Structure 1
Amino acid sequence: MLNFWKNKKVFLTGHTGFKGSWMTQVLLNLGADVKGYALAPSTEKNHYHSISLGSKIQEDIADLRDYQKLKASIQSYQPDVVFHLAAQPLVRYSYHNPLETYEVNVMGTANLLNACREIESIKSIVAITTDKCYENKEWIWPYRETDRLGGHDPYSNSKACCELVIDAYSKSFFYDKEVGLASARAGNVIGGGDWSEDRLLPDIVRSYFANESVSVRSPNAIRPWQHVLEPIYGYMLLAEKIYSTREFNGGYNFGPTDNEQIRVIDILNLTKEFLGEDFQFEVHENSDLHEAGLLSLDSAKAVSQLNWKPKWSGKEAIEMTLKWFKEQNSAPHNTEKLTNSHIDYYFSQGQSPQS
């Protein structure tokens, strides 16, 4: 995989976000040329600014809903590969802003794919959705790519709609052009540099450094927690796989192994082990907003077809995340070096991104 990315031109939406900024840095480390397209970061503290990403790449700070600007940005760059990560990513925000959520997630995806139709240089497109795109039946079995799409809340439902848009564009417009198009469905990613509101690890870190107790809802909720580098590695393997053949087009799950389903309360207890008695939390289970309690993914397709598998256990992912935040808090001027050390360590468990 590593040699594939050298000198590849990559267009990446959402590069100012948590996952997008990590992915951009990985691509740069592998020798790719990257252009980003996204809104400005949504939080004052963010990974994008902390690693000075804007100074390393071409970028357009713009809205996915501006079709003409998006189309012009892609056309002027003539990329080889496109990654679509930009989204309105929060469940609870979607209840208060449902129209914005559908506009950004569904029409934003349609805008991107429609703009890519006319650009001959593009050979593969990977659109990132979510594990929440499945109709959640609250059962014990992991969801497979063939399971029914759905979504109770506007965010989850919008991502199920994205999957339908991706499938329609793949069959209607890209198949005959011999362009690889696939969707990637990952769960709750964690890692250093995520300061988003209403996410468990960022809430934990903010509370800890403020010497406050963190308030947590749904302590027994199960999510496919994994480090941000795990799905990024999968997305890159997928983009490479579909670059030269349409055989592997379609949807792919990227989640932890079956025995790595971790409850919210387990993360709290692991955090207390790592941070010590100074870390305090309170559990409040009452909420008038529905959020799925049990959700896990079957990643057998990615394992068999892409030779992808998680490198870190859930406990290791949590520890690496907390380690990043502790080190960054004590030496914020070294954030870029810190992020690169985590990238190097991850890829050294197989291959180094510098090799």
Structure 2
Amino acid sequence: MNAALPGLFGNTYHQRRVLITGHTGFKGSWLALWLKQMGAQVSGLALPADTTPNHASLLNLSLDEALIDLRDASAVREAVQRFEPEVVFHLGAQALVRRSYIDPVGTFNTNVMGLVNLLEAVRATPSVRAVVNATTDKCYDNRNTTTGYRETDPLGGHDPYSASKACAEIVSSSYRASFLVHPAHGHPVGLATARAGNVIGGGDWAQNRLIPDLVRAAVSGCVTEIRHPQATRPWQHVLEPLSGYLMLGERLLKDPHTAAQAWNFGPPAQGHLSVGAVIADFAAHWPAVRHTHDTSPHPHEAALLHLNCGKAEQQLGWRPVWQADTMIERTARWYRTHHERATILSYDDLRDYVHAARKHGLSWACA
């Protein structure tokens, strides 16, 4: 199997069997692209993409997939056993805060019991050696402080989505301690959780997310109504946390114990931007983007959210690659090019990101 990007992550993923849950989603489709470019044997487990267009369909990658619901325990187990993955990246989730207010039961069922179903399938599949469970930076008990949350800070969650992801962290910790390193399993399975900040990048068309909302309005000639322009978030390009997930997978395969922890992946301080600042920068690269302030009542959203990623930097050697202006420029260019020329820049963005990481001397990018 040829690899367009050989040698990354110590060549760990070349010809290795890797399962992605949520491969039809925004972040999962980017991860599938990256793994395919490294020569991995990628399989996917997810519901069909729920937006048109969607990044997965535009990429049209060749992979074995099971289009099933994580809440169907028997179907999940059957699929995992059929794929026989060595590494599992769990990105499948109900990932929208506002949708979680509309359907809290479905959110908890998918994000908590869906995870339980997956981990039960992992227990029944001897080939699995490493699991990376992508949760969220919103799993912390957010007190709206400027102090960056560390992995040892208390979990919480005001909205059902955030709370469900805090629950997923606890479930992961329980399975890690009770089953996955237990001698009865036959071999230890490393399970890490990854708490990433807000991600942007081309190919996201989800409802009630900032960049997709701006894009839809720009394409239709409308004005986007912004709910909380002063809210501050740890913004990063989608490829940033994915590099962290891939580093975790590599480490877990080598040592299923040491890296089997929780990890934050987010931008440096200059990437903690207000919604208004992100919009202004995005509009500078695509003048069709226009917005106004929506003052009507909305469900609760945290005003501040900051991450401390010192642990990943010190213990994994992970660091962000693209600064905030590059992140926003690349995202705006992706959508504008897709709209104006019906072309996607995903392969270009991935290649340029890897090249930039090499220039920064990051170990994972140096073959």
Q: Which residue of 2 aligns with 1:49?
A: 57
* Distance in structure 1 (CA, Å) of the matches to 2:101 and 2:337: 35
1:201-350 equivalent positions in 2, closer than 5 A: 201-245=211-255, 246-276=257-287, 278-332=288-342, 334-335=343-344, 338-350=345-357
Q: Which residue of 1 aligns with 2:203?
A: 193
* Distance in structure 1 (CA, Å) of the matches to 2:253 and 2:119: 16
Partner of residue 32 from structure 1, selected from 35, 40, 43 = 40
Q: Which residue of 1 aligns with 2:153?
A: 147
- Identity over the aligned pairs, expressed in percent? 42
- Whether the 8 Å contact between 2:142 and 2:156 is mirrored in structure 1 is yes
* Distance in structure 1 (CA, Å) of the matches to 2:267 and 2:357: 18
- Whether the 8 Å contact between 2:236 and 2:271 is mirrored in structure 1 is no
TM-score relative to the length of structure 1: 0.96
Where structure 1 has 5 or more consecutive residues not aligned to the other structure, the ranges are: none
* Distance in structure 2 (CA, Å) of the matches to 1:86 and 1:205: 24
Displacement of 1:354: 11
Instruction: Please give the per-residue CA displacement for 1:154-207, whole angstroms capped at 9, x wherever unaligned.
Output: 000000000000000000001233211000000110000101110000111111
Instruction: Please give the per-residue CA displacement for 1:49-84, whole angstroms capped at 9, x wherever unaligned.
Output: 11113xx00001010011111101111111110000
Instruction: Please give the per-residue CA displacement for 1:257-281, whole angstroms capped at 9, x wherever unaligned.
Output: 12321000101111222123x4321
- Whether the 8 Å contact between 1:123 and 1:244 is mirrored in structure 2 is no
Q: Which residue of 2 aligns with 1:20?
A: 28
Amino acid at match of 1:301: K
- Whether the 8 Å contact between 1:134 and 1:160 is mirrored in structure 2 is yes
Q: Which residue of 2 aligns with 1:121?
A: 127
Displacement of 1:315: 1.8
* Distance in structure 1 (CA, Å) of the matches to 2:289 and 2:76: 44
Q: Which SS does the other structure have where 2:155 is aligned?
A: coil
Q: Which SS does the other structure have where 1:59 is aligned?
A: strand
Amino acid at match of 2:29: S
* Distance in structure 2 (CA, Å) of the matches to 1:241 and 1:293: 35
Seen in structure 2, the aligned counterparts of structure 1 residues 153 and 14 have a Cα distance that, compared at 3 Å, is same
* Distance in structure 2 (CA, Å) of the matches to 1:49 and 1:119: 29
* Distance in structure 1 (CA, Å) of the matches to 2:280 and 2:117: 43
Displacement of 1:288: 3.5
Single out whichever of 159-168 and 244-253 deviates more from structure 2: 244-253
Displacement of 1:285: 3.7
Q: Which residue of 1 aligns with 2:176?
A: 170
* Distance in structure 2 (CA, Å) of the matches to 1:168 and 1:286: 41
Number of residue pairs the alignment of both structures matches: 349
- Whether the 8 Å contact between 1:219 and 1:285 is mirrored in structure 2 is no
Displacement of 1:353: 7.6
Where structure 2 has 5 or more consecutive residues not aligned to the other structure, the ranges are: 1-8, 359-363
Q: Which residue of 2 aligns with 1:84?
A: 90
Q: Which SS does the other structure have where 1:297 is aligned?
A: coil
Amino acid at match of 1:291: E
